[in-house]
């Protein structure tokens, strides 16, 4: 966990600069993530980590649609995780006003449409646990998220010397 968080903190500022430099090449979701980050005034380290992890699949051009799933606490969980092979579920409190920031009730890891680990403290911890489960159980990374997890494996965790050109390009940009 410490290795992952340290690497995330090390690369986060440069990664956010890359997101901003290329945000026109992405869909509106990247712009929304950056705008939400810019509005933060407290706990910036945590928000920076969240932005990096949520933006990474977009930046490496993976299909990020099912990695981060959000629902409210009054929704049935089964419906929220339906079709999710690998993902992180964030459950938000349903009873909030329109102007208030939603409260996170639970963060959980989903594998094969089942919650395998719940009540995690934050998104970066959940992501680290998810990666650890996939890597430790020797599960193949989902094709639609291959480059995201390869980037974590190669850049953040430094577990393998070889990687794809896409991930090597990202690493080069982060080290410049």
- Could you state, in order of their start, the residue ranges of all structural domains in the chain? 2-175
Residue 166 is predicted with a pLDDT of: 95
pLDDT > 90 in the chain, percent: 74
Residues in contact with 98: Cβ distance below 8 Å, sequence separation at least 6, in sequence order? none
Residue 133 is predicted with a pLDDT of: 95
Strand partners, 92: 72, 104
At residue 99 the predicted structure's pLDDT band, cuts being 50, 70 and 90, is low
pLDDT in tens, 118-168: 999 999 999 999 999 999 999 999 999 999 999 999 999 999 889 999 999
Residue 94 is predicted with a pLDDT of: 82
């Amino acid at each position: 966990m410490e290795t992952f968080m340290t690497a995330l903190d090390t690369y986060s500022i440069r990664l956010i600069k890359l997101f901003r430099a290329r945000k026109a090449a992405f869909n509106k979701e990247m712009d929304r993530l950056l705008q939400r980050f810019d509005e933060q005034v407290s706990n910036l380290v945590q928000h920076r980590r969240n932005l990096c992890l949520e933006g990474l699949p977009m930046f490496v051009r993976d299909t990020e649609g099912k990695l981060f799933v959000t629902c409210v606490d009054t929704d049935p969980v089964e419906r929220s995780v339906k079709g999710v092979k690998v993902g992180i579920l964030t459950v938000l409190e349903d009873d909030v006003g329109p102007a208030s920031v939603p409260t996170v009730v639970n963060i959980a890891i989903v594998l094969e449409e089942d919650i395998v680990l719940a009540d995690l403290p934050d998104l970066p911890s959940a992501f680290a646990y998810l990666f650890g489960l996939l890597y430790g159980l020797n599960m193949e990374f989902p094709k639609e998220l291959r480059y995201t997890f390869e980037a974590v494996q190669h850049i953040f965790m430094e577990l393998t010397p070889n990687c794809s050109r896409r991930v090597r390009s990202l690493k080069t940009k982060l080290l410049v």
